[in-house]
Chain A
Amino acid sequence: MSYELPTFPYVTPPERAGAAASAPARYPLVIVGGGLAGLTLAADLASRGVRCTLIDEDDTVGVRGASSRGIAYVQRTLEIMARIGIFERIAAKGATWSVGRVLAGEEMLYRFDYQPESVSRQPTFVNLQQFYMEWFLVDRIVELGLTDLRWKQRVVGVQNHADHVQLTIDSPDGPYTLQAEWVVDAEGVNSYVRQALGLKEETERGQDRWCITDVRFQQQRPQERWTWIEAPFNADRGVWQHPMADDVWRLDFQMAPDSDPVEVSKPEVARERVAQMLGPDVAFELVWVGPYSYRTMLMERFRHGRLLFMGDAAHAKSPFGARGGNSGIMDADNLGWRLALLLQGNAGPALLDRYDVERHRAAEENIRITARSGRFMQPRSEAEFTLRRAVLQLARHHAFGRQLLDAGRMCAPHHYAGLPGFGPTGEAGRAVPNVPLAPDTKGSPAPALLDVLRAAGSDLVAFVFGPVPLDLAAAIETAGLPLRLHACTDATATALLQRLTGAPAGGVALIRPDSHLAAALPDRQAGPLIAAARAALALEL
């Protein structure tokens, strides 16, 4: 069995349809690349009523045919997809999980459950083949009807000017040129635009080799993430086992560093590997085999004038902890509302510099954490192997040993504490989970944080804990900022939101359209709230 992927219609671009225009047309915003990051941004913008053009080199989803690549989507990603309007579809198709186990051979070293600490409406994780996620995003973009989707087109030339970017694009009807006020590059790690402009980045190639072997089998296994650090059925190397949609399991095998990717992905070799793991009695079907190695790459800056970079085009890392796809989606989440405000005339380019500041720090953190996991999964010397063996033995009996055991730390939204535009309190900068704001009534769930944020479009929302004073409402009205007030009158129901934001009763939590807390204020005075909003919007104080 292999996957059936959709194809999307190529439409002759206007530039090639009529008589050649005397000057290239000017577009407000062009996204290059229809992977997770690019599609999330286009869908997010459309959900905010913003039109854009998206260029993708093929006419389907997934990477080179049916490859599935990313699988684990974390809670923050699921919240973003809920805001965009495709969470239900993702949850219905994918495998929801919250429990992970780390094993040594037959023996379980420990088990952890993320659910008890979760307060969001969305589950902790859903596993889903990446192409389904992209497919649902495309469907949503088409449904919203605001995006000019240009399939089978590829950027082959780029010029970065002071007030626009000029792109030369290859299409099945021949090349053409367009100009864009803003361009977001989401082409992935081999970004043409980044390389053509020779933009500064640092790359380190990894020696670690893995081989994804997606299989379907008829055996009940728990819907959990299992990790073997030293799997006896894989020559004491690492193995991951993840449930996915369509009863397919992602088995990811660590290979010897000198292994030949062609050899390890031969069907008979892959089948032998799976048989060693599942045992002789379990029948299975190979769905997809994909060998990979990984690299670490970080661009020096994510904004270059009118050009912005996100996802793997800006930063690449090992897959440990699902920090690739999820962080690309979080880049799009960070950028969408800024571009919407900018294109609607409610903010200036300074707001885009904050994208670079915030997401660069998030990328640094993701690279630091994945590099540590990578080194745990592939020790570099006999001494490192010995230390890892010590950790594995201690983890059986001692909680502190589990702290040292690092088989990938799951991606979490970055805490932007201390960066420009955030208030001074400890919680400012955190992503606020999608908590309910009123008690559930029979039959219908109560409104939650995301419902309020979605209804506010690209405005900041000030959650006021208590009645809204008349003079506060009047002052916000006069200020003319993309900012609105939301009265939290049910103190019991919003106690959790208060605790998460650190705003006291009678205070205010100022939350951005991407759910991050801009500031927590101790009272309901207009002056400090307007100052906090201007800071969050990168406006002069």
Chain B
Amino acid sequence: MDLSTPRFDDADGFYATLLQAHEGLSDSQSNLLNAKLVLLLANQIGRADTLTALVAAAREDL
């Protein structure tokens, strides 16, 4: 599965949005924000095989 091809409309913009969202949050609030975002994104993707591959890719290098 191709997980590497860039797909962002605006990668820099997304990264900045993400950093901004974390501003002023405690570590536990940030963790919660990330967890909610993961679940929201996962629901947008929906497909089980894609999600499984994404989770595996995220687990790499840990």
- Say yes or no: B39 contacts A391, CB within 8 Å: yes
CB 8 Å contact bits of A384-395 with B (1 = contact, 0 = none): 001101110110
Q: Which of B31, B40, B43 contacts A386 (CB 8 A)?
A: B31
Q: Are B40 and A394 in contact (CB under 8 A)?
A: yes
1/0 per residue A365-394: CB within 8 Å of B? 000000000000000000100110111011
Q: Is the CB of A393 within 8 A of B40?
A: no
CB distance from A394 to the nearest CB of B (A): 6
Task: Tell me the chain A residues, 388-413 only, with Cβ under 8 Å from chain B.
Answer: 389-391, 393-394, 398, 400-401, 404
Is there an interface contact between B43 and A390, defined as CB atoms closer than 8 Å?
no
**Contact (Cβ within 8 A) A389 B39:** no
Cα distance A407–B53 in the bound complex, in angstroms? 27
Question: Would you call A393 and B36 a contact (CB within 8 A)?
Answer: yes
User: Which chain A residue has the least Cβ–Cβ distance from B46?
Assistant: A400
Q: Mark B32-52, 1 if CB is under 8 A from A, else 0.
A: 100110111001000000000
Residues of B near A393 (CB, < 8 A) are 32, 36
User: Do residues A401 and B39 form an inter-chain contact, with CB atoms below 8 A?
Assistant: yes
Task: Decide if A386 touches B32 in the complex (CB within 8 Å).
Answer: yes
Q: How far is it, in angstroms, between the C-alpha of A110 and the C-alpha of B43 when the chains are bound?
A: 19
Q: Which of A383, A387, A389, A400 lies in contact with B43, CB distance below 8 A?
A: A400
- What is the number of residues of chain B that contact chain A, defined by CB distance less than 8 Å? 9
Closest residue of A by beta carbon distance from B35: A390
Q: Which DSSP category, helix, strand, loop or mixed, fits chain B's interface?
A: helix
Q: How far is the CA of A129 from the CA of B58 in the complex (A)?
A: 48
Bound complex: CA A383 to CA B31 (Å): 8
Residues of B contacting A386 in the complex (Cβ-Cβ under 8 angstroms): 28, 31-32, 35
State which of A390, A400, A401, A404 has its C-beta within 8 Å of the C-beta of B32: A390
Chain B 8-33 per-residue mask, 1 if CB under 8 angstroms from chain A, else 0: 00000000000000000000100110
A404 / chain B contacts, CB cutoff of 8 Å? 39
List of A residues within 8 angstroms of B39 by Cβ? 387, 390-391, 394, 400-401, 404
Contacts of A390 in B (CB 8 A): 32, 35-36, 38-39
**Chain B residues whose C-beta falls within 8 Å of the C-beta of A394 in the assembled complex:** 36, 39-40
The chain B residue with its CB closest to the CB of A393 is B36
On chain B, the residues within 8 Å of A400 by CB distance are 39, 43
Taking CB atoms, residues of chain B closer than 8 Å to A383 are: 31
B32 neighbours in A (Cβ, 8 Å): 386, 389-390, 393
Measured between C-beta atoms, what is the minimum distance from A413 to chain B in Å?
25
Closest to B31 in A: A386
Residues of A within 8 A of B38 (CB): 390
Chain A residues 405-459 with CB under 8 Å of chain B are: none
B31: chain A residues within 8 A (beta carbon): 383, 386
Inter-chain CA distance A143–B32, complex, in Å, is 60
Q: Which residues in B have their C-beta under 8 angstroms from that of A398?
A: 40, 43
Closest chain B CB from A401 CB (angstroms): 7
What chain A residues lie within 8 Å of B43 (beta carbons)?
Answer: 398, 400
A391: chain B residues within 8 A (beta carbon): 39
What CA separation (Å) do A404 and B42 show in the bound complex?
Answer: 11
Of chain B, the residue at the smallest CB distance from A388 is B35
Interface residues of A in 479-537 (CB under 8 A from B): none
A137 and B35 CA atoms in complex are apart in Å by 49
Closest B residue, CB atoms, query A389: B32
What is the CB-to-nearest-CB distance from A405 to chain B, in angstroms, rounded to a whole number?
11
Instruction: Name, among B28, B31, B38, the residue most crowded by chain A CB atoms within 10 Å (CB to CB).
Output: B31
Shortest beta-carbon distance from A451 to chain B in Å: 42
Query: Nearest-CB distance from B22 to chain A (Å)?
Result: 14
What 0/1 readout, one digit per residue, does chain A (56-85) give for beta carbons within 8 Å of chain B?
A: 000000000000000000000000000000
| Bound-state Cα–Cα, A386 to B35, Å | 7
Cα distance, A389 to B32, chains bound together (Å)? 7
Complex CA–CA separation, A28 to B30 (angstroms)? 67
Tell me the bound Cα distance from A130 to B39 in angstroms: 39
Distance in angstroms between the alpha carbons of A390 and B39 in the assembled complex: 8
Closest Cβ of chain A to B41, distance in Å, is 11
The CA-CA distance from A386 to B28 in the complex, in Å, is 8
A123 CA to B28 CA in the complex, in Å?
A: 44
Which A residue's beta carbon lies closest to that of B43? A400
Residues of A within 8 A of B35 (CB): 386-387, 389-390
In angstroms, Cα B40 to Cα A404, docked, is 11
Chain B residues in 8 Å Cβ range of A401: 39
Residues of chain A within 8 A (CB-CB) of B36 are 390, 393-394
> Which 8 A-B pairs have CB atoms at the shortest separation, nearest pair first?
A390-B35, A390-B36, A400-B43, A386-B31, A386-B35, A387-B35, A390-B39, A389-B32
- 11 further contact pairs, Cβ within 8 A, besides A390-B38, A398-B43: A386-B28, A386-B32, A386-B35, A387-B35, A387-B39, A389-B35, A390-B35, A390-B36, A391-B39, A394-B40, A401-B39
What are 17 A-B pairs with beta-carbon distances under 8 A?
A386-B28, A386-B35, A387-B35, A387-B39, A389-B32, A389-B35, A390-B32, A390-B35, A390-B36, A390-B38, A391-B39, A394-B36, A394-B40, A398-B40, A400-B43, A401-B39, A404-B39
Interface residues of A (CB under 8 A from B): 383, 386-387, 389-391, 393-394, 398, 400-401, 404
